[in-house]
Amino acid sequence: MPVDPPAAPAATWNDRSADPLEWARSRGNGTLADKMGFEWLEFTAEHCIARMPVEGNTQPVGLFHGGAYVVLGESLGSMHANWHAGPGRLAVGVDINATHTRSATEGYVTGVCTPIHLGRSVMVHEIVLSDDAGRRCSTVRITNMVRDLPSR
């Protein structure tokens, strides 16, 4: 299956010479995450953290939308996998699942992403999503396949 390379030139997409948080911010969030108010808070080799506002991302009954948890989780896990993939490589999601255990109704939902497995061809991350009171609302697990970027 062909994969379109990210907006950044292939030679610099995964260049890890920059500060990881600045690297993540400079790549952009993607239009969906931007529309949802995605905001990077922290990015290191060990984990990354971002948040989204509840307002504007709710179901009709006022609860944070289950799909919004998944958007936040996938954005975190995919970017962390891409940073670890290294120059000339691209991580693409092949599986994602979420278990929702609480509903956020105001403030922000914050995601903390930690790697479970950082292999050469497969990476797995767990993302814990919590409300402003620190209560876990959802747990997302994403698996990314890592491949070489296509030559131009």
- Whole-angstrom Cα distance, residue 34 to residue 45? 23
Q: In this predicted model, what pLDDT tens digit does every residue of 64-74 receive, in sequence order?
A: 999 999 999 99
Mutual angle of helices 20-27 and 66-85, in 10-degree steps: 120
Q: Is 74 a catalytic residue?
A: yes
Round to the nearest angstrom and report the end-to-end CA distance of the chain: 16
Confirm whether pTM is higher than 0.85.
yes
Which member of 46, 74, 106, 126 is catalytic? 74
How far is Cα 55 from Cα 106, in angstroms, rounded to an integer? 7
Average pLDDT over all residues of the chain = 90
Please compute, for residue 8, the number of CA atoms within 13 A of its CA located in the half-sphere on the CB side: 19
Q: How far apart are CA 131 and CA 135, in angstroms?
A: 6
Instruction: List the domains of the chain with CATH numbers.
Output: 20-148 (3.10.129.10)
pLDDT in tens, 8-56: 544 455 666 678 888 888 888 888 989 999 999 999 999 999 999 999 9
